[in-house]
Amino acid sequence: MPNQRLSFISDKIRESDASLSLVHRFCVVAAELLRAQSASIALVIDQAYSAIAASSPLGTLLEEQQFAFGDGPTYDSRESPIPIIVEDMTDRHSAQKWPAFAPVASKHDIRAVYAFPLRVGSAYLGVLTVYRVEHGEPTAQEYADGLILAALATNELVRQQAGIAAGDVLSSSEPGLSDQSTVQIAAGMVAEALNCSIVSALVRIRARAFADDKPVNDIARAIVARELILTK
Amino acid sequence: MAETLYEIPDATELAVTLIDITRAVTAGAETIDIFTTLAEKCVSLLPVTAAGILLRDVTGTLQVIGASSPSAHLLDLFQVQNEEGPCLECSSTGEAVSDTDLSPTGRWPRFSSLARSHNFSAVYALPLRSRDLTIGALNLFAEQQLSPGRLLVAQALADAATLSLLQVDPQVDLQIVIRRIHVAVESRNAVEQAQGMIAQRFTIDAEQALVRLHEVSAQTALTLVEVALAVTSRDPDSPVARLLQP
């Protein structure tokens, strides 16, 4: 049962420009709700980076620079499920930690950067980053909104990887990936059997559910019960 | 009050449990480990057959972070409560909920029939609450009703879970609370993914795989989550790799 905030955010996304891609609309809503100059979403699979969408060209630029340098909070987001909150890119700590990216952010008048990892357990798919002109930390509500949008984006990127066309906003908020124990166990089993990554296993399970027109959880249950074996 | 406390024969074990939890929190133990211990303690301290601790994540989903047993039946019982059931109500209202009828025509027919099918006849949900903030619920399954004294013990254990997670004044730093819940959920997901890999590797079930992961955690002095991440990342240099060779 989704909470009010998730419904509120889903409504915001529905009200956004429908001519844009769904992931692009997530970025637009992220920028609005987190009072940011720009927001971007990257796909990072097997350490290969692809720019997916940004609310404005500045987001794309700042994201690309970080992956080009291998330096910056967005780049570092792969290491932990905890969002990276940088209150001030111009302070000494940031300059030392990200010597290549900090000056680029400052040059574009960006003071605060928040990077929300797109992650399911140990599986890292990418990152949602917001870039703010004002320095400081997000409010608790903004932090929660960032996590909700990251969860929606994670589900959508798995769908895309599984070759499923973008559906309604609701299809991204369907339960399935991060909520269900059975899905995680099944993903581990598939990853071991096929010697593939957990991300790839999640994508295969999602694709199979779509192909069979069944809930993800049903497919996962069958895998855990060893009634269904996914092959390469 | 004296009368209800008198009903608690294992007050010493309760005290020891609360002291252990406090120590674990001060030592920086992971939420998933603390909650699993607490759920196990519920079963040893109270006449209940199963227990679980559920947190509401940022999207409103109830997530099981610690369970007295990793049985699939139990996980189903927790999961169905995202649609209906005592935990959903308890975590929304912040009030304790009990159901000792589990009637198929009652408030939560699907949940009740599932609970009945596993021979449970009483279910309790106690809030994980601090002032106005309810972060989840402690869920107890029993074959008989619990006395008011036992429910006090249960609430004390629920409070210990709340305190271990909050550690800070929720009015001041809600962001830390949100972050801790998020990390607990993602840690559990990583452990489950590792369970799946080990289950497949040794042709065992997920419960047995969890036992293996706990054994490796004890042998290596790594936390359960660290062991899980070593498994899922297939880190060849980790001591975990040698201990879990096919």
| pLDDT (0 to 100) of residue B9 | 56
| pLDDT (0 to 100) of residue B75 | 82
Q: Is pLDDT of B62 > 80? A: yes
Residue A171 in any domain: the answer is no
Q: Is B175 close to A140, i.e. CB distance below 8 A?
A: yes
Query: Is there a single domain that holds both residue A108 and residue A35?
Result: yes
Q: Is pLDDT of B3 > 50? A: no
Query: Is there a single domain that holds both residue A20 and residue A58?
Result: yes
Domain count, chain A: 2
Give the span between the Cα atoms of A223 and B116, in whole angstroms. Answer: 26
Q: Which residues have a Cβ under 8 Å from the Cβ of B20 and sit 6 or more positions away?
A: B37
- Best mutation site among B78, B174, B192, B201 for testing chain A: the one with the most A CBs within 10 Å? B192
Q: What is the CATH number of the domain that holds A88?
A: 3.30.450.40
Domain's final residue, options A126, A142, A166:
A166
| pLDDT (0 to 100) of residue B11 | 75
| pLDDT (0 to 100) of residue A157 | 93
Q: What's the fold here for domain B2-167?
A: Beta-Lactamase (3.30.450)
pLDDT digits (tens, 9 = 90+) for B182-197: 999 999 999 999 999 9
Residues from B in contact with A at Cβ < 8 Å: 56, 58-61, 63-64, 72, 75, 79, 82-83, 88, 173-175, 178-179, 182-183, 185-201, 206, 228-229, 232-233
SS3 A119: strand
Give the span between the Cα atoms of A129 and A39, in whole angstroms. Answer: 6
Q: Give the domain extent around A190.
A: 181-224
| pLDDT (0 to 100) of residue B231 | 98
Cβ B219 vs Cβ B203: under 8 Å: no
Q: Which residues have a Cβ under 8 Å from the Cβ of B164 and sit 6 or more positions away?
A: B21, B24, B25, B31, B34, B35, B38
Residue A120 in any domain: the answer is yes
Residue A127 in any domain: the answer is yes
| pLDDT (0 to 100) of residue A171 | 58
Pairing of strands B133-142, B50-56: antiparallel
Q: Please list the pLDDT of chain A residue by residue as tens digits (232 residues).
A: 457 888 899 999 999 999 999 999 999 999 999 999 999 999 999 889 999 999 999 999 999 999 999 999 999 999 999 999 999 999 999 999 999 999 999 999 999 999 999 999 999 999 999 999 999 999 999 999 999 999 999 999 999 999 988 766 655 555 545 567 899 999 999 999 999 999 999 999 999 999 999 989 899 999 999 999 998 7
pLDDT digits (tens, 9 = 90+) for B24-36: 888 888 999 999 9
What are the domain boundaries of chain B?
A: 2-167, 187-243
Q: What is the nearest CA distance from A7 to chain B, expressed in angstroms?
A: 9
Q: HSE (CB half, 13 Å, CA atoms) of A150?
A: 29
ipTM above 0.90, yes or no: yes
Q: Which of A52-56, B101-105, B118-122 has the highest mean pLDDT?
A: A52-56
Cβ B219 vs Cβ B227: under 8 Å: no
Residue A172 in any domain: the answer is no
Q: Is B189 close to A122, i.e. CB distance below 8 A?
A: yes
Q: Is B189 close to A1, i.e. CB distance below 8 A?
A: no
In A, minimum Cα distance to B193 occurs at: A188
pTM: 0.90
| pLDDT (0 to 100) of residue B2 | 43
Largest separation between any pair of C-alpha atoms in chain A: 57
B72-79 and B109-117 are packed helices; what angle lies between their axes, rounded to 10 degrees? 170
Please give the average per-residue pLDDT across B89-99, as a whole number. 95
**Per-residue tokens: B246:** 């096919």
Cross-sheet strand order for the sheet of B133-142: B62-67, B50-56, B133-142, B122-130, B97-99
> Tokens 């509120």 sit at which residue?
A8
| pLDDT (0 to 100) of residue B26 | 86
Query: Is there a single domain that holds both residue A112 and residue A215?
Result: no
> Tokens 């930690």 sit at which residue?
A97
Contacts of B201 in chain A (CB under 8 A): 192
Please give the average per-residue pLDDT across B173-184, as a whole number. 91
Residue A175 in any domain: the answer is no
Query: Is there a single domain that holds both residue A101 and residue A132?
Result: yes
Query: Is there a single domain that holds both residue A28 and residue A143?
Result: yes
Query: Is there a single domain that holds both residue A119 and residue A195?
Result: no
Give the span between the Cα atoms of B218 and B39, in whole angstroms. Answer: 19
> Tokens 């599986």 sit at which residue?
A123
Q: What is the nearest CA distance from A50 to chain B, expressed in angstroms?
A: 22
Q: Is A189 close to B199, i.e. CB distance below 8 A?
A: yes
**Per-residue tokens: B44:** 């040893």
In whole numbers, what is the pLDDT of chain B averaged over residues? 90
Query: Is there a single domain that holds both residue A193 and residue A155?
Result: no
Residue A232 in any domain: the answer is no
Query: Is there a single domain that holds both residue A187 and residue A161?
Result: no
